Structure 1
Amino acid sequence: MKKLALPAVLLLAPLLASCASGTSADGETSAPPPPPAGEVHWSYAGDAGPDEWGQLSDEFVECSAGTAQSPIDLPDHAEQQTTEPPTITAWPTVGESVDTGHTIQLVPDGDASEVEWKDEEFELAQVHFHMPSEHTVEGEVLDAEFHFVHTTEEGQALVIGVLAEESSTENEAWQPFIDGAAEPGTEDLPLDVAAMLPTDPTFEEYTGSLTAPPCTEGVEWVVYHEPIELSAEQIAVLKDAYDHTARPTQAQGDRVVYEGTIDVEQELAH
């Protein structure tokens, strides 16, 4: 696996404050958190949108010059099978919702999940969402996508992607995240990773990048094949927070997409 030394601030908040605008629950456009001094303004539309990211800063050059970028269009089923499936071990905990200026994150207070894969151990740093989905499946765009960002002590990154589609039933496991999206800054939100993942363990795997500036490559992606279902009301809350936070799909090039099944183990405490 390629070693990836990401700055700590990116590991905990890869979608930090920018000038992208959000929408409040009453439908009015709200001002996002101001970017830190010296931070480069980037967005999902307009002059600072995805097509321009690589020209906004020398630190963002990989967004346009990179050859292994994310997201990509995934096959319905990959022909190649992975020979070393990952294992997720999860513990129920609580977290705080954070508005980064581009998305809402749920940041765990303590251990929430770890992934053992390819002789590495990755720990969950945060969960955030994109709307609509960034990864597509055979060209189909889904309603939303969640990213469970895991990292090692050395700075390697593994992201578990969970696609989402609208249904008529509320998803109880995801309601704490939805509550945090409605009221950023909320603390002690229940975070149960095992309950939030799809029941079908099938996934597609490939090597890509962060999907937001600086678009750093060397990120391992594991995207669940089966989407979770959220109610129309839950989808509406996410849309009220940020209704367009998806980078367009990037060229796959000669990268191979593998398919496998993931093993999820849930423990009561850690």
Structure 2
Amino acid sequence: LPTLLQVIPSVYQLTLLWFCPESPRWLVAKGKEDQARAILVKYHGECDPNSELVGIEMSEIIEAQAREAAANVSWAAFFSSKANWRRIFLCTCVATFSQTTGNLLVSNYLAKILKDTGLDSTFDSTLINGMSTLWSYICSLAVAGFVDRFNRRTFFLTGSIGSLVVFVAWTIAAQQYVDEGSIAAGRFIVACIFLFQAFYTIGWLNFVVTYPLEIVTYQMRAKAWSYVLLVVPRFSAGYWPLPER
């Protein structure tokens, strides 16, 4: 049943994709300005082909495309300067740290963790998994609301130090559960899962996307994000199997 429920959003999205208009920017980039204008007229110009707003938007898109084409950064230029290498180093750190903080331990091995703490029923596992996902979403919204009130270092340090403290407490509780069979220790581990999700969201979940794009130039953004996506799986804890007991 949980797997079938996950299919519903995918089917919903796949169905609606057929009704989504193409991006006017992409159409202009491919030389299909008439199609781009038609979409803008329909959705922004109230079906008026002489709409002033549509004319302004088309001019802005064409000018932006021309500027981007003139300032396009090749992969060779991407790695050519000392300043760019510093940016690449920071992008590498963010991508690496975001995947070595323990997040995939929770997302990939939650059922095994719960089983090792006495919660081995499918209902308990599904319920906690759903609550954890919802909690992570709520934390993401909260971080987004405060994103302009604190500097990035504050978020990174708070999330990383908080995650470290939670994992230390988690490890102690896990050992107590193994040695003494303490039910309280097992339930404390469940609480640690939610605490970790909060701290991970504060430090990394949002900023693994936004921070690399903030520190690179506008012309580097597409390639910088491609680079981050290349690095992330290489350091993903999801590739590290848990040892069998």
TM-score of the superposition, structure 2-length normalised? Answer: 0.24
Bigger-Rg structure (1/2)? 2
More strand by share: 1
Higher relative contact order (CA 8 A, sep 6+): 1
Greater helix content: 2
